[in-house]
Structure 1
Amino acid sequence: MSEGSNRFAELLVEDDAYHLMSRGVLRVRGRKGREALQSLLTNEIPEGVRAATYGAVVDAEGRVAGDMLVVPDDGDLLIDCDRGQAAVWIDLLRARGGDGVDVVDESGRWRVFGLLNNQSVFDDGTPYIRYADPRRHELGSRVLRPVEARESLSWRHEGKWRAHAYRLGVPGSEAFGRARLDVFEAGLHGLSALHPARLESLGLPTLEAGPSAAVRRLLPFRVEPSGPGVPAMLGEPMMGGAREVGRVVAIQGLFGLAVMALESWRAALESEPLLRCAGEQVLPTWPTWLGRESTGRASPAARA
Structure 2
Amino acid sequence: MRMNRYLFKTLSLSLVLSTVSGLYALNFSQVAGYPHVEGLFLLVFGGIYRSDSVNLIQFLIFCVPQFLFILILAGYMYEDFKISAVYVFTRNYSRRKWFLEKSKHLFLYSITYVLMQLVVIYLFGKFTVHPLNQDAFLLIVTWQFAAMILLNFFFIMSANLLVLKLGSSIGLLSTYVFCIALYTLVLIDSKTSRALFAKVNPVSNAMLIWHDHSLIIQFYEDFMLGFIKDFRLSFSLIYLLVLNLFLILGGAVITNNADIINFEKEA
What TM-score does the superposition give when structure 2 sets the normalisation length? 0.31
Considering only CA atoms, is the larger Rg found in Structure 1 or Structure 2?
A: 1
Higher relative contact order by CA 8 Å / sep ≥ 6: 1 or 2?
A: 2
Looking at secondary structure, tell me which structure has more strand per residue. 1
What TM-score does the superposition give when structure 1 sets the normalisation length? 0.28
Looking at secondary structure, tell me which structure has more helix per residue. 2
